[in-house]
Structure formats: structure tokens, C-alpha cells
Structure 1
Amino acid sequence: MLILSPHVKQAPRLIGALCVLSVLAGQAGGADGTKDDPALPIYPRTAQEQARINAVTAPTVDFTTPEPFEANQGGAGTVADTGDDTVFSLPPTTLPLNDRLDFELGHALFAKLWVSSPSSTKASDGLGPLFNARSCMRCHVKDGRGHPPEHPDDSRVSMFLRLSVPAPQTAALTEIEAYLADLDGPNATPRTRPAPGYGGQLQDFAITGHAAEGRMEIAYTEIPVTLADGEVVMLRRPNYTISNPGYGALPKDLQISPRVATPMIGLGLLEAIPAADLLAHADPEDENGDGISGRPNLVWSEREGAPMLGRFGWKAGEPRVEHQSAAAFHGDIGISTPLFPTTFGDCTVEQVACRTAPDGAGDVRGDEIDQSGLDLVTFYARNLAVPARRDVDDPEVLRGKEMFYTSGCASCHVPKFVTHRLEGATSTPQSFQLIWPYSDLLLHDMGPDLADNRPEGRATGREWRTPPLWGIGLTAQVSGATTYLHDGRARSLLEAVLWHGGEAQAARDAVTVMSKSDRAALIRFLESL
């Protein structure tokens, strides 16, 4: 549920929408308006605590020295850099000893390879019949960032294509679709539908006896960008096609959105940021005139049976870590869970053989992964620790931090928050932590160059969630490649910045006119995160 704190100032339309959300959720919020997720055992903040939080999360104006606790990006549970590719796969240092076994069991399920049904390994069957990967770890390798294929034989397993078609204007909307459309009035973004014969994403693998849906193909066009000092940076613009379609002609109005797997670190901390604190950064009508119009994505929670604030995914299309995990089991692997109990995954009504294939559910086992298994995977995902910053007191890094602020990057990549105070020992790593994710988790119009032209929830085809930046400097160490943005088109952090447009155009332009030394300092700062 979503309830606004009294101190949060929002556009009237947003306030009204979120008040309706709180009624739909059917939950009573605390007096301070921060009890926004019934699954979180929250202690309300006192007025004194809120004053301390406001002070500690205020933007810094001193770039001569690091801020207190700045190196501990993930709060008290921050882990040291291991120097190898395991640094994203560690539990927080504050995870109670009694919970370490659950973390390891969750890791085992996260890495588990599923097989097709029927199988003698009854605890592992149910794969597909159509799928993108056989395990969570195949996409989130070492719990890190995915990447696009760089040559024809390169793996496509950590990247896939979302698919949809525009909904006919005469199509009946579901209750939630109608509600979300009402938030934006009669000119709301048209709803989408799964692509006939192909569903909500292109699944490029299939079990024996079934055809894969097709193969993602990427062609790049090189685009030179000349900076103010004469340096030329080559950007690559991707074009996506689908070869070898396995289930008939692709719809002529097919909408395609490429997505690489996102890093897994810090998800539980992001989940524990009070909704009111995120909404305090929303300005959908740009009332302050700074050109930044962050909007929350409001999405349906299968667990709550109500709209919630979207926090996860490239367009903030998932409300909670559990929901994101269950959706990935369903769409990426074809495994049923209590939240998504269909055993055939993303197969459409036209894919009859897929829908009638043997599955791994049963009277004893229930869903192909039951609630206890889903809880373990969720626990693992929720408790992957954030690594410590490096070189926080380096003069060049501090200069780059100043460039980050003065160019306007911090307007969307909000540096710091304090999480809810949570009850219970299992909530220790996420409870009342000063964290540095460098994100507001809101939607922003990023301009036509990054647009996928495919709406998701309330997100338009030009809007993307601000991705957290913590850990971004360890991308090569963990993933073995440096590719950034939702489709991995950027091969360097500078390329990623130069693709920014829309609300980020002014910040992008500020980077292009920086001196070479200031631009290098900015990159050094990002690499320290």
C-alpha cells in the first residue's frame, strides 16, 4: 500500500491517485504514513528520527572530504571487495548466524538447473516447455549484470526480448488496467497485450519435442559524438530482429523491448526504503521547473491483490523481491510458483502443445517450486550484500563527485536514503540503514534514443526507472564485460552517459562540455561506486 507522509509535497493528481491506492490495498497505515508494505514489520519513525534522517540524507555541499559512512554503500552490512568475481554473491556482514543456512539454501535454488518433465529427479523437473534459461544464475551470472551477445556464437542467455502488441482501443480493460488508465485521464498510454503465438517475451530455448520461439539478432550502427574538447566517442545504435520464428508469422505491430539481467545486490535494502521517501522525489508536473519529472510506476501485486509502488526491473514493473523472483521463474524458466501457478510459463493459447505438455507439479509437491522454496530464493535475493566503495578520499574521485552533483546527475540518481526500522532478527541487515544506491527508483523520460516504444504499467515507451549505481564500478570484475544501459549498448560509462536524453539531456550536455580532466574525474567517481 502507499500512503504519503505529511511532509511529502506532491502534485494534487499524484496525491489523489496514491490515496486511492491505499484504499484499494485495504491496509491501515501508520500515523507517519510510512507503513507502505504489509509484509514489512515496520516500527513507525518518531519525529526526532525523521529530523535526523532529513539531515543525514540532505545533499552534500562539501566535496573536499568524504561524507560520514560514505564507503559503506550498503549500510552496516556492507562487505569488503574480495578482488574477484564473487563480490556480488556474499551475505551482509550483519546477517545473523542462524540465517546463514537459509541464505546458502536459497543460493543453491538460485543456481539449480531445472530439467524437463517427466524426470526421475522429481524435485527438479518442470522446466519450460519454452524458456530463456535453466536457472536464475544462468542470467544473473555471479549475481551480476547481463550483457548482449558480442558475436554470432556468443551466449544470449543473460538478455532477452520483451514482446507485446498494442491493445485494441475497443478491448475490455481488466480492473487494474482501468484503474491505472484513470490515473492519467482519457489520454492514457494504450494498454498492451502479449504477442499472439509468442506471449510476453521471446523464449529462445525449448525442451525436446518443442520448437524455440526464435532467435534474437542484433545489428549495430556506429554513431560518432564529438565532445567540446574535440574528443570523438563512438556510440553504437542497436537494431533488433527475430530470426527463425517458431510459431507463425510475427505480428506486424509487434513491440520489442530488449532487457539485460540486472545486478542482484542490495535488493532487500531497496525494498525497505519507505515509499514516502521515494515519492518525495516525484514531480510529475515538473512544478519546480528543473526539467526533472520523476513518476512512480504503480503495478499490481499478486501477493497483496492490490496496486503497489513498482521498485524493481528496468521500468519498475515489479513491486517486491518475492514478486520479481516468482515472475522470473514463470517467464524465464517456465516454473510455477504459488504467485504464478500456471505450469506452462509464458505459453500462449495458440501454443497448444506447450500448454498440454507434462509438468512438474503434483499432489505432494504442489507447485513446481513451492512457497518454502520461493521463500528461500527470495531470502537469498533480498540479502545479497553491497560492496564497499573504493578510493572515497582520492582527490580525483572527490572532484568527480562534485561533477556528478553540479552536472545534475544526482537529481535522478539520488545518492542516499535511510531504510525503515524493521522488527525481527531476520530483518537486521535491512533495518534502519543509511544506504547509498544512487537512484530514486522512479520513472524518467530518457528521450527518443533510448526509447523502446513499449509501455509497461504506467511507464511510457520513453520512460525507464533510474537504475541504482552502487557496484557499477565492479562490473568488469564480476561479469567480465563492461556493457551498460537496459540493452547493454554502451561499452563504457562515458558511452552510457552520452546516450542520456529527455529529462537527462541537460546533465548529458554538461558532461560533453567538461574539460577532459573533469570528465575523467567523473568517470573515476562512478568507478568507485
Structure 2
Amino acid sequence: MRSILSLAVCILTLAPAATHGDEPAQVLTSLASREAYSQPIRPLSSQENLQFQLGRGLVRQSWIISPAEDRDIAGLGPLYNRNSCIACHAKNGRGFAPDGPEESMRAMLVRLSVPGKAPEGGPQPHPLYGDQLQEFGAPGVEAEGRAHVRYEESEISLNGGERVRLRKPTITFSNLAYGPLPDDLQTSARIAPAIYGMGLLEAIADSTLLALESQPKSGNIKGRLNRVWNMEQQRHVIGRFGWKANVATLREQTASAMAGDMGLSSHLFPHGNCAEGQTACQQAPVSGTPEITETQLEQMEFYQLALAVPSPRHQDDSRVQRGAALFRQAQCAACHLPEVRTSEFPRLAALGNQSIAPYTDLLLHDMGPELADNRPDFSATGSEWRTPPLWGIGLAKQVEPNAGFLHDGRARTILEAIMWHGGEAQESRNMVQQMSPLDRQLLLDFVDSL
């Protein structure tokens, strides 16, 4: 931690500190390189800039197994999937799925649960494996096992003769250390989502989301909010983060990932990720109680709150404008909402009262049986998913060449992702399939411009 602090102080010394004053907030960045997802909003005060730099250091930190001399970065495990946040969120971007069963799940994880609900209403963890499979263990603690992804390939034809290959994943397990898994096990493979723009999504008022839920929809499109358990408030609230909008706040999302992916305990998740029956895991050394301090958690939260969103590109291009019209015509904008307004946001005032274009309504939509994981999560059913934001998506491959799309990374391109849409989005998917090759490319050019 001392090295991170020194780095931040050095940066503050070399660069002039931003001041609030009357300078308008800039929540977008025009950068379109591999660093496009790593830029701070402007302006930040000297103190906010320091918090941002400290948070960035922690997000990029490689954590180590206890016991260790440097207790500030110790606490990894005893069971874990990766040793840093950026191991999955490279450059703050999205993860990807393995190409086959022999590849490691480098930026992907597998959720586990059994039928029924936990006391707070969420998924019921498996008694021996918990709610997530852990591929690695500290010395003396057996890793839980390995997950493998196999694909069933199919091909569809689009109007004009283009053919698109789709791959549907199936998850299998090997080297299970804590006993066999039951036949009724519920699983869900998830790639890491991008983490920029999260502060702006948190700054959307609950009242705005309730209005979006209640407003009339067109055709088969419905949309509803997930109601989830808030660890800090100890009550059910609106969910907005996670693939199923199953987490209420960015702070809880961060603490949950630290516990689930790296075994690092915090005041929100004081027991890390040891399941009930994992004695060696529970008895392994710890570096502190908790291992992530409230200050560290606040710094990581602030870093994500203050990450800017890439500006849309080529908006004056007639092709992009025609693509935007086709996007609306195909009813994509009914869920991928192009305009929302944030409310007052004391945690970071610059995020408040902004008109933003996240291309999401943060609502759950039934996406049909082909995308269903059949794993309920609070009030979300096994076929419902939160509308993922599209802002900045055109730079996904620039930031991470392997970036995947959809919750399990099965889609390698935006077009593949569209062709997997079903349920409430079936009509939109059909319209894109039936477009002329030129119109379909214009729609894709528009999405790529975001």
C-alpha cells in the first residue's frame, strides 16, 4: 500500500490538480486507444484525484497468499479464481470465454447454486462448493475443481446470403475435490463485464428506474426491475449491477467480487468464500479481519465511480446516422435506451444531473430459452437478463482483442450477439436478420460508433 500511495503522490506532484470551481463536468473521454476505458472524469479535486489513483493501484494490485510480510496486499484465497481485478477486467474492459474445453477460464467464472433460495432471497449456495467454483487453492487447501466449456455449433442464414456461425456453450466439471455435484445443480457461466461508467449508472435515481419499469412498452417488450438484498442497508432494494441486476450498489459489487473471485474478506463479506463444509479453507491463515479495509474498499469504489465513458464517434457520418435510425426501427432502443438522466449524487457531485446515453434501461428482460441459464437470482428468472449498456462497446476489441459478448461470452461479434436474442427481443432479432446486407451493416456501424 505504501508504494501505491507514493505513486499517487508522485502523479499529483507532476500533474496540475483539477479544481471544481465553475468548470463543467466532463464524464466522457475522447480517447479511443487501449486506454479508452481507464480515463477519469473531469474535473477531480486534488483529494478526489488522490482517491482515484489509490483505487486504480488497488484494482491493478496482484494480491498474495497469507501469511506474508506485506500484509497490505496479503489475503488472497485460500480459494480463488484470479489474483487481481484486472486479470479478468483487462484495461477495465470485458472478459471472454475459452475457445474450448482445454482452455483456462481466464476472464470467466461459473456460478453455482442448488434449488431454493437463501434467507435473503438470492440463490442458495451449494453446501460444499459455495456459489462459485474456485479453480485455485493456497498451499494445504485443495482447489475446488475445473470448469470446461464445450460448444455446439450451428449456422443461420441472413437476408442477402450471409451466414453466421453461432456457438452454444455447455459447462462440464473435472477434478472435483469436495465430492460429486448433484444432478439438480444450477450453473451460470459469466464473463467479466466492463467497469467504466458504473458511477453514472449508480447516479440514476431509483424513481427514474421505477418510471422506466412502469412506462408502456411496445409489442412483446416488458421489462422489470430486480429487487435484491442490500448488505449495508439490510433490506431489499432495486438491483442495477451484474448480468441479472442482482447487486444493488457498486460498493457491494466490488466487495462481492473481491470475496468471490479472490477470497478477500471485507466488512460486507467477512468470511471470504469458504463454503460451509470446507474445513481447511476455514482454518487457513488470514492477514487481517477483514483483509480488505473499509478505506481500501472505498478507494476501489471511487476509482470505478470516476471512470469516464468513451465518447460516441463518427456521429456526423451519414452512414452512422442511418444506422441509428435502423436501430430505432428495429426496436433495439426500447431496451437499449439512448437517453437517461442522473440525479443529485453527493458521493461524486460531477456525476449528478447529467444527461447520459448508456443504451440500457437497467431492467430485466426475458431473452428466451436459448440464452437462459435456468438459474433464478432474487426476482430474476432463469431466462431474464439485465439490458447491458452499449456505450463504449465499439472499442471493446481495441481494449481487449479477445472480448466476448453476452453474459457467457458465446458471441464473438455484435452480429452473433444479436442473432442470439429471443423472447422479448425476438422480433428485433428477426428484423435485423431480414434487413438488406447494406442496412444491417449500417446498423452494426452505428453500434460500433458508440
Q: TM-score, normalised by structure 1?
A: 0.78
Determine the C-alpha separation between the residues in 2 that align with 1:108 and 1:288: 43
Q: Percent identity?
A: 45
Determine the C-alpha separation between the residues in 1 that align with 2:44 and 2:339: 22
Determine the C-alpha separation between the residues in 1 that align with 2:163 and 2:106: 32
Q: Secondary structure at the match of 1:427?
A: helix
Report the counterpart of residue 262 of structure 1 in structure 2: 193
Asked whether 1:239 is paired with 2:170, we answer yes
Matches of residues 96-107 of structure 1 in structure 2 within 5 Å? 96-107=45-56
AA aligned to 1:358 is P
**Which of 430, 437, 448 is residue 351 of structure 2 equivalent to?**
430
Residues 337 and 369 in structure 1, CA contact (< 8 A), matched pair in contact too = yes
Residues 195 and 251 in structure 1, CA contact (< 8 A), matched pair in contact too = no
Determine the C-alpha separation between the residues in 1 that align with 2:131 and 2:318: 48
Higher strand share: 2
Report the counterpart of residue 11 of structure 1 in structure 2: none
Deviates more, 1:432-441 or 1:149-158: 149-158
Label 1:374 to 1:404 Cα distance change in 2 as closer, same or farther (>3 A).
same
Asked whether 1:383 is paired with 2:333, we answer no
Determine the C-alpha separation between the residues in 1 that align with 2:217 and 2:358: 24
Matches of residues 277-288 of structure 1 in structure 2 within 5 Å? 277-283=208-214
Report the counterpart of residue 119 of structure 1 in structure 2: 68
AA aligned to 1:336 is S
Q: Secondary structure at the match of 1:105?
A: helix
Q: Secondary structure at the match of 1:136?
A: coil
Determine the C-alpha separation between the residues in 2 that align with 1:256 and 1:454: 7
In the TM superposition, what is the alpha-carbon distance from 1:403 to its structure 2 partner? 0.6
**Which of 394, 397, 400 is residue 476 of structure 1 equivalent to?**
397
Matches of residues 340-489 of structure 1 in structure 2 within 5 Å? 340-342=269-271, 345-361=272-288, 366-423=289-346, 427-489=348-410
Report the counterpart of residue 304 of structure 1 in structure 2: 233
Determine the C-alpha separation between the residues in 1 that align with 2:247 and 2:67: 32
Report the counterpart of residue 181 of structure 2 in structure 1: 250
Determine the C-alpha separation between the residues in 2 that align with 1:95 and 1:507: 41
Asked whether 1:138 is paired with 2:87, we answer yes
Determine the C-alpha separation between the residues in 1 that align with 2:409 and 2:105: 12
Determine the C-alpha separation between the residues in 2 that align with 1:223 and 1:75: 47
Label 1:478 to 1:350 Cα distance change in 2 as closer, same or farther (>3 A).
same
In the TM superposition, what is the alpha-carbon distance from 1:288 to its structure 2 partner? 5.3
Report the counterpart of residue 222 of structure 1 in structure 2: 153
Determine the C-alpha separation between the residues in 2 that align with 1:368 and 1:192: 25
**Which of 472, 486, 511 is residue 432 of structure 2 equivalent to?**
511
CA deviation string 1:243-267 (max 9, x = no partner): 1112111122111100000001100
Q: Secondary structure at the match of 1:163?
A: strand
CA deviation string 1:147-194 (max 9, x = no partner): 012255644231000000102xxx8x73x43xxxxxxxxxxxxx7411
Q: Secondary structure at the match of 1:165?
A: strand
Determine the C-alpha separation between the residues in 2 that align with 1:243 and 1:75: 51
Report the counterpart of residue 276 of structure 1 in structure 2: 207
In the TM superposition, what is the alpha-carbon distance from 1:105 to its structure 2 partner? 0.4
Matches of residues 66-215 of structure 1 in structure 2 within 5 Å? 76-81=26-31, 83-151=32-100, 154-167=103-116, 174=119, 176-177=120-121, 192-215=123-146
Q: Secondary structure at the match of 1:139?
A: coil
CA deviation string 1:205-262 (max 9, x = no partner): 1112222111111111111111132221111111111111121111221111000000
CA deviation string 1:376-417 (max 9, x = no partner): 011011111101111011111111100110100011111111
Deviates more, 1:299-308 or 1:492-501: 299-308
In the TM superposition, what is the alpha-carbon distance from 1:492 to its structure 2 partner? 0.8
Determine the C-alpha separation between the residues in 2 that align with 1:95 and 1:233: 45
In the TM superposition, what is the alpha-carbon distance from 1:289 to its structure 2 partner? 5.9
Residues 217 and 334 in structure 2, CA contact (< 8 A), matched pair in contact too = no
CA deviation string 1:323-376 (max 9, x = no partner): 10111111111111111111xx22212111111111111xxxx41011111110
Structure 2: segments with no counterpart, 5+ residues: 1-23
CA deviation string 1:125-152 (max 9, x = no partner): 2111111111111111110000012255
Determine the C-alpha separation between the residues in 1 that align with 2:56 and 2:103: 26
CA deviation string 1:478-518 (max 9, x = no partner): 11124210011011110000000000001101101101110
Q: In angstroms, what is the RMSD of aligned CA positions?
A: 1.7
Residues 131 and 206 in structure 1, CA contact (< 8 A), matched pair in contact too = yes
Asked whether 1:491 is paired with 2:412, we answer yes
Determine the C-alpha separation between the residues in 1 that align with 2:431 and 2:223: 20
Residues 94 and 403 in structure 2, CA contact (< 8 A), matched pair in contact too = no
Deviates more, 1:382-391 or 1:448-457: 382-391
Q: TM-score, normalised by structure 2?
A: 0.91
Residues 25 and 42 in structure 2, CA contact (< 8 A), matched pair in contact too = no
In the TM superposition, what is the alpha-carbon distance from 1:281 to its structure 2 partner? 2.0
In the TM superposition, what is the alpha-carbon distance from 1:452 to its structure 2 partner? 0.1
Label 1:89 to 1:289 Cα distance change in 2 as closer, same or farther (>3 A).
closer
Determine the C-alpha separation between the residues in 2 that align with 1:209 and 1:353: 7
**Which of 242, 245, 256 is residue 316 of structure 1 equivalent to?**
245
Residues 77 and 95 in structure 1, CA contact (< 8 A), matched pair in contact too = no
Residues 97 and 105 in structure 2, CA contact (< 8 A), matched pair in contact too = yes
Label 1:265 to 1:289 Cα distance change in 2 as closer, same or farther (>3 A).
closer
Label 1:192 to 1:303 Cα distance change in 2 as closer, same or farther (>3 A).
closer
Matches of residues 5-20 of structure 1 in structure 2 within 5 Å? none
Q: Secondary structure at the match of 2:167?
A: strand
AA aligned to 1:144 is G
AA aligned to 2:54 is L
The runs of at least 4 consecutive aligned structure 1 residues that moved more than 4 Å come to 151-155, 286-289
Residues 79 and 93 in structure 1, CA contact (< 8 A), matched pair in contact too = no
Determine the C-alpha separation between the residues in 1 that align with 2:191 and 2:72: 29
In the TM superposition, what is the alpha-carbon distance from 1:103 to its structure 2 partner? 0.3
Determine the C-alpha separation between the residues in 1 that align with 2:48 and 2:263: 29
Determine the C-alpha separation between the residues in 2 that align with 1:155 and 1:382: 30
AA aligned to 1:440 is D
Q: Secondary structure at the match of 2:224?
A: coil
CA deviation string 1:97-120 (max 9, x = no partner): 431111000011111111111111
